[in-house]
Homo-oligomer: A and B are copies of this chain.
Amino acid sequence: MTTFELTPVGVGSADTGAACCSPLVTEPMDAARAEQLASSFKALADPTRLRLLSIVAKSEGEEACVCDLIEPVGLSQPTVSHHLKILATAGFLERSKRGTWAYYKLVPGALDRMSQLLADG
């Protein structure tokens, strides 16, 4: 399993401000910004998390119950929940609880912000 630091990187939050969307290629990046972005990429640097994200993204309302994510990726519920938590901490998914199960929804714009960052300036 990938070593992972659970530091909030706020790709989906307002606190990153305008700097959040500066393309990687328009200016040399300072160390603090690079640390923050590397954390976001770490959240995406795992095949299970990429599959979970793509399944959630294709689900109705871009939201899925943990209970519906276990079978498609073929892993245990605790493992799936662990990966979903990393994606939520990184700002790609938001979690809500209804009854017994947790639901995860794609944070609007979070993937797009990462996309813009990599686009040619």
Q: Is A37 an interface residue (CB 8 A)?
A: yes
Are A47 and B35 also in contact (CB < 8 A) when A111-B118, A120-B111 are?
Answer: yes
Among A53, A118, A119, the most chain B Cβ lie within 10 Å of the Cβ of: A118
On chain B, the residues within 8 Å of A24 by CB distance are 50, 53-54, 57, 111
Contacting pair A29 B41 (CB below 8 A): no
Docked Cα-Cα span, A3 to B45, in Å, equals: 11
Q: How far is the CB of A87 from chain B (nearest CB, A)?
A: 12
Chain A, residues 85-121, CB within 8 Å of chain B (1/0): the string is 0000000000000000000001000011011111110
Q: Is A31 an interface residue (CB 8 A)?
A: yes
Contacting pair A25 B54 (CB below 8 A): yes
Nearest B residue (CB) for A50: B34
